[in-house]
Structure 1
């Protein structure tokens, strides 16, 4: 389906789609059968081609060496990476521009610029065993000790930590005038007191793992604090808004791939002497899927456009939640239907529907579960009314 996109967004979309089709999709099954990995030379080529396709530093300004993409342009690019399984689309560094607003010049030089150049890699240590979607329930602490902070706590689901050399660590301030408020810190992974508890096995097969880390009296200089004490949740909300919208975009890409693959199969598969696509039951599943994709894509694109034109941040927060909620649940339904259309083939790991059926499930959980998105949306509705959310 063709939606009205500005010329540069359309060009980015086509360029990234060609990269995904040529460089990533052919390696999906290999990655699935090798714990999410592809040969090192192939991975290096993917990263090079991703940069050539303009997939790195999309949110960073041109004057910093970034791409300077609008939110909508990032959405159409991320949508195309969502068409590939096994997180092979995670082959380019993409720091977010809130980091430039939050970090000191020295921090930008030490952590953000190397992230942009692919010399360093980051991960987020926020979630805890008893604090997932309810970030305010974290128990990790940061206590000021002269020119240092002492960090303690245990973090779960630290995505990509096995590929990273530093973390964003979120804690509550212990003591002082800002006690109980949130703060965010840079922590190099090799800092004494940082240890891996274990690396759980997950439903999907990704190169990026999600270990559990324990922080025991981890001493970091005070200049590792991002912003000020009490700023942590504001930065996390900015990260959530951006990532929730990009999850929505990737879910749209996954749904499109599934619909295309299931449609092609249904046309070719002969059942009782006729193509499977001739059966009304299958037609209904495909019709529902493409209709829901159209709705999710419109919602995602419009939310991006609104952000680009200066949407109120609280309205944007709710609308990013709406896009993630609808798109992630839509993609799950599409994946379920695709498995059904493929029949027994849809239960084989070599089949795209089987992989997406597993992989898409987490999109209803991470960066705020669907139930949390509903709370955010309802709060926005009750405080600001219908028109503020849907016009």
Structure 2
């Protein structure tokens, strides 16, 4: 089995790296020093260029105007987005394959296609104070009433909620034959009953906030139900698989950027008449970073190829967990070593290592903690064996 990137994937990587290095990275420090904000006209330019490059429609079916790109191509592109700090890479929304499988034609035209065209912006309202990685613990409810549903619940960590004009809300059905089943809904952000509780401050400096919202007797039409009652968890699992794989890709990009910056610094920093790159303990840290990055890339690329080969979905679920687990833990270790090599400079917010050390920590938490990923991997191993989990 070959792990080499295809010609198409390499071309995507080159194009997106150029965009990241030329357009996004130069704004990192300004964003860091201004609560994540950059000038609005620059932000618009970034979104327009990302959409023009095709980033927002890589996973969109061709009959909907998308590219239907292989997952390996998508991973190669998103890996380059991971090179930039301060969420500047979050400059575009994207249509995802699971959305087209879940939504009807009217919903696609009203909500999904406008996302990747930059006309609408969405936020996921799933997590709750007492329900994180185990989504089944949510207490939010959706009760049928006349020609619609009444939604209630408090949602935490609603990423990009401050930029969204609609939410994808997950609740448990109350009553009827699907009582207790999960359901997803499109919810316009300006509906009565939606209250911004507060916007907590987080470790990273992003202009994309993670507010807490309260949904109190929010009425949505039945047409806003995504799929059928009880389908919610299946769609969430589809979203999780993609997000976990793309987190792994971004982590690889971040680690590569860190290794490049740290290596250059080690070669130029002179102590006692010689570059610190000649010190064996520095070399050992750089070697560990390179080895772990290479391993993470191979795991991530292979998981992407498994999607393109059409492997069993349960195997894909485990592979995505493997990629997210290894890559997220790898990237944070690389950032920690980078700070150590930069020394005092590495503790300055203007330094890329300091920013990544803060930003990468959450990748071991969101979309399923490292502990949850280990459980998924172990359970797959016990049920399907080595070959059924990672091939053989």
- Does the CA contact (< 8 Å) of 2:140 and 2:154 recur in 1? yes
Deviation by residue 1:55-91 (Cα, 9 ceiling, x = unmatched): 2221102221112211111100000000000010111
What does residue 281 of structure 2 align with? 281
What does residue 94 of structure 1 align with? 94
> Is the counterpart of residue 206 in structure 1 residue 202 in structure 2?
no
- Does the CA contact (< 8 Å) of 2:151 and 2:216 recur in 1? yes
Structure 1 residue 355, shift from structure 2 partner: 0.1
- Does the CA contact (< 8 Å) of 1:32 and 1:349 recur in 2? yes
Structure 2 distance, partners of 1:225, 1:29, is 42
Structure 1 residue 44, shift from structure 2 partner: 1.4
Superposed CA RMSD: 1.0
Structure 2 distance, partners of 1:113, 1:262, is 41
Matches within 5 A, 1:199-348: 199-348=199-348
Q: Using a 3 Å threshold, how does the CA distance of structure 1 residues 9 and 323 change in structure 2: closer, same or farther?
A: same
What SS does structure 2 have at the residue aligned with 1:79? helix
Deviation by residue 1:209-263 (Cα, 9 ceiling, x = unmatched): 0000000001111111100010000000000000000000000000000000000
Task: List gaps (5 residues or longer) in structure 2.
Answer: none
What SS does structure 2 have at the residue aligned with 1:179? coil
Q: Using a 3 Å threshold, how does the CA distance of structure 1 residues 75 and 370 change in structure 2: closer, same or farther?
A: same
What does residue 377 of structure 1 align with? 377
What does residue 365 of structure 2 align with? 365
Structure 2 distance, partners of 1:205, 1:182, is 33
Structure 2 distance, partners of 1:374, 1:170, is 25
- Aligned length, in residue pairs: 390
- Higher mean Cα deviation, 95-104 or 358-367? 95-104
Structure 1 distance, partners of 2:286, 2:378, is 31
Superposition TM-score, scaled by structure 1 size: 0.98
Structure 1 distance, partners of 2:110, 2:68, is 21
Superposition TM-score, scaled by structure 2 size: 0.98
What SS does structure 2 have at the residue aligned with 1:10? helix
Structure 1 distance, partners of 2:203, 2:218, is 31
What does residue 28 of structure 1 align with? 28
- Does the CA contact (< 8 Å) of 2:165 and 2:190 recur in 1? yes
Structure 1 residue 109, shift from structure 2 partner: 1.4
What SS does structure 1 have at the residue aligned with 2:57? coil
What does residue 165 of structure 1 align with? 165
Structure 1 residue 50, shift from structure 2 partner: 1.5
Structure 1 residue 154, shift from structure 2 partner: 0.2
Runs of 4+ in 1 over 4 A off after TM superposition: none
- Higher mean Cα deviation, 311-320 or 56-65? 56-65
What SS does structure 1 have at the residue aligned with 2:185? strand
- Does the CA contact (< 8 Å) of 1:16 and 1:54 recur in 2? no
Structure 1 distance, partners of 2:176, 2:143, is 9
Structure 1 residue 93, shift from structure 2 partner: 1.5
What SS does structure 1 have at the residue aligned with 2:149? strand
Task: List gaps (5 residues or longer) in structure 1.
Answer: none
Deviation by residue 1:328-372 (Cα, 9 ceiling, x = unmatched): 000010000000000000000000000000000000000000000
What does residue 126 of structure 2 align with? 126
